[in-house]
Structure 1
């Protein structure tokens, strides 16, 4: 049984977060279609990265799981079931089900590979002849959100493991000839501060989207953020109650988008133009093309439509491509100006530099 709302830790509401539209849009699109491949959020310290991600996990609707299963197995989808649950299903055993909040797993910086992937108890396996598996954080994160703060400080090998699981949807643990695998389909969210070093390009490329966030400069907005936070800290339940209807509306919009997503289409000419932009920008591989198509469809579904427009592509393209551009090692991550320029040229929407900057700042405004 899931805990009652009063028993759960009160989380700052997602709809009360001021600004940071890029980050909010990227996170929402990944929850609508987890196959986008996660989000890398780079930005200044104290800009609400962790708060926003926890707020998103709290906003999402409850999921149906097999009761007491450590992998959050889906009773209706064999691809999201552990081997034990699948066996029970084949033997036509009735599965006990429960409703559960979407799990958000925080990956600690000092985590070992065993803690992340899980361990096999060799002694038990040899003496009792059973596959004794101790699930790790990837098992807990299945069908949820895995958040890695300061991902640029994490061991490269561990980042590789996370990205492989996120891409394949499975985690495999092998030791002394014993192999165990379980579903590990989650939205991977990494955050970091560019001052503490960049991720290797081949790791960056594996994240579906890249959101850049800046400290809010406008005094009036800063005051609003401080007031919101003070109000929340003084009386969290009352503050959450005040935003309940907005939260419920956004939650329903995400559920509707998930259901609508399979019906969304994108015109062949638009797909060709997306690939033309990727080709012009010299983006390695085809991940950029695939993610842009997926993100544009997710945005269309989020807004309750079934046909992708040029504007949908414009609003997601920078998020999907800015981290895939080859750049000078001494230069910080491209702000997206090159992506916008190429987009405008290919889609025949030549805009002045001023317009391009306005578009970049307004991305996602209508969506949230």
Structure 2
């Protein structure tokens, strides 16, 4: 496909045939390296994610295509969005407001179409499908016509960058308003080492149903805490957990393991652990997934959420019981920082595009 002018391009929700083409594009790069045996298994894996939670009703896959041939399977670039409910507190306010936001994921351009600006332009157009028209600059004439699909309900959107902090900021809102701006968030990694690895009899494994209930209680706690958390001179945002946040990461890892024949099914899936505590005290817990990513390598326990107080020796014991060699955590309150660990920011950088919230935004509890 010859591409001559971005004015001739648009972004559309994918057709079934385009969805298959997108999966065919992604499988060699993201499915096969994880041991997934075929594109069909890769598709089945992500279908099963939707079957375990509410994400199917919030999910859209998008394709950049010529406006003259919107159903072509010769896709120039593609991505996915997940709608998520979120909270906002304005500077100096104690009022917590519920808003709609989106997570952008799986941005992919086929290798033969790279270095042509396709992903950048697709994401510039994506702003004009997600945000209210009143919160957007006038659509640039050089881009042709705006996308015909317009959700128009996003207060902000986020993504996680593996290509550094600059590319996605350059996916501008209009001609020059910054797109997704990097949000400083530390990722901590602790070595597990040798030691006690048995499951404590006071611990309780958390399954998907229990995780769903914990999403509700943790969301309520965050909503109550937001007015006194972070910098009160800034607009603060935080995701609700109640639309699958605690279940998504463990389920995503598990279905990839099923697709690569490392696991039979999702029966009995443990997504976290609740520790012991004195009578009458809320028991601390960890939501996590422990797996090897990208084939042979280090098995990591990636924490999706931690409800303190969790002693560091208990954290290590949980990791060893899960067979992990490393523990990975984004954000947190640094209560384990006295222990040997590495801090990085250069991979999977959280980035946020503000539509109605202004420039001075703080993202609270930035977990993945």
Normalising by the smaller structure, the TM-score range is under 0.3
TM-score (normalizing by structure 1): 0.26
Q: Which has the higher helix share?
A: 1
TM-score by length of 2: 0.26
